[in-house]
Amino acid sequence: MSKVLVLGHKNPDTDTIASAIAYAYLKEKMGMDTEAVRLGEINNETAYALDKFGYGAPRLVSRVSEEVKQVILVDHNERQQSADDIQEVQVIEVVDHHRISNFETADPLYFRAEPVGCTATILLKLYKENSVEIPQEIAGLMLSAIISDSLLFKSPTCTDQDIQAAKELAEIAGVDAEDYGLAMLKAGADLSNKTLEELISLDSKEFEAAGKRFEVAQVNAIDTDDVMNRQKELEPLLERTIADKGLDLFVFVATDILNSNSTALVLGKEADTAAQAFRTELQDNRLEMPGVVSRKKQIIPVITEAFKG
């Protein structure tokens, strides 16, 4: 059988990288020839996790069809978040925890999505269902993924299953989830070495709803003012991205990981629609989002509903 690439989404976060590694390993143990790859740069948080558990980053690719016929997607399903040439290969499996959209196949496939906080939580089940033991360093990466996606269990996306999975994985990995987790999140929230371009693209995802195209970028920070103080430099960059990609809306979210609040910069011709969706008005293009930390659960559905009318 020829090789199958296992890939997460563009602008990879810790879950996408850890899940690509963990699922590629599991499928390899089940007899498939796999390789984990990534579609973008490793962020500070993920670099911290990889370093901590002594694991190398997956190989960087942007296209896949020149080297394989089949791929497995983890932590995403929407085609605009995947490899540029995803339509030219066969997706044989998906393991994900996001909404399903812009995804279709000609043939039946294995598609395992569950409404939990992290792909790694589902992968832990798959390891058990297939009776494969999790190596210590992969358990550490999977734990890192859960901590990252759940903001150390504080996000509303975090379920009991995620907390339970993190407990089991921390034990295998031999670390204290809280201590290690806070250190990892802080490493990720260190934005001092980031250019403005990096800030808006590090963890950014494109979406479509009711014919509108929008992008939502999110950065974690210890102090959101560090980010928002750069508003006047950020705005022209966002405007250019909107023009280049033909977007209707760009929402740039800075999340205070210690207090679980967010502030967003909102630009594009649907900016007011977005603000209204959050039952408030833009002040100098800014939107205060108290209690909001989850793009998936607290931002995307709200904007999607607003567009669908």
Q: How many angstroms separate the CA atoms of 147 and 178, rounded?
A: 9
Catalogue the E-assigned strands of 1-152.
4-7, 34-38, 59-60, 70-74, 90-96, 110-113
149 is in an annotated binding site: yes
Nearer to its own copies, 128 or 167 (CB): 128
Q: CB of 301: closest distance to its own copies in angstroms?
A: 5
Contact 24, 6 (CB under 8 A): yes
Which phi and psi angles does 72 have, rounded to 5°?
-120, 130
Nearer to Mn ion, 27 or 76 (CB): 76
13 is in an annotated binding site: yes
244 binds, among its own copies, Mn ion, none (CB under 5 to 8 A by kind): none
Q: How many angstroms separate the CA atoms of 52 and 138, rounded?
A: 11
Task: Tell me the window of 149-157, 174-182, 186-194, 268-276 that interacts with Mn ion (CB under 5 A).
Answer: 149-157
Among 45, 78, 93, 149, binds Mn ion (CB under 5 A): 149
Cβ count near 157 (within 10 Å): 20
Instruction: Note whether 203 binds Mn ion by CB under 5 A.
Output: no
Contact 213, 248 (CB under 8 A): yes
296 binds, among Mn ion, its own copies, none (CB under 5 to 8 A by kind): its own copies
301 binds, among its own copies, Mn ion, none (CB under 5 to 8 A by kind): its own copies
Nearer to its own copies, 101 or 259 (CB): 101
Instruction: Note whether 248 binds Mn ion by CB under 5 A.
Output: no
How many helices (H) and strands (E) are present in the chain, helices listed first? 11, 11
Contact 33, 2 (CB under 8 A): yes
Q: Provide the binding-site residues for its own copies, judged by CB under 8 A.
A: 97-115, 129, 209, 296-297, 300-301, 304-305, 308
42 Cβ partners below 8 Å, 6+ apart?
A: 12, 17, 50, 57
Q: How many angstroms separate the CA atoms of 74 and 6, rounded?
A: 7
Nearer to Mn ion, 15 or 78 (CB): 15
9 is in an annotated binding site: yes
Q: CB of 309: closest distance to its own copies in angstroms?
A: 13
Per-residue mark of binding to Mn ion, 95-124 (x: CB under 5 A):
------------------------x-----
Q: CB of 258: closest distance to Mn ion in angstroms?
A: 21
The packing angle between helices 119-129 and 136-150, to 10°, is 150
| CA angle, 249 then 294 then 159, to 5° | 150
304 binds, among Mn ion, its own copies, none (CB under 5 to 8 A by kind): its own copies
Q: CB of 76: closest distance to Mn ion in angstroms?
A: 8
Nearer to its own copies, 105 or 164 (CB): 105
- Strand 249-256: give its sheet, edge to edge: 204-209, 212-221, 249-256, 261-267, 286-289
The binding site comprises 9, 13, 15, 75, 97, 149
Binding residues for Mn(2+): 9, 13, 15, 75, 97, 149
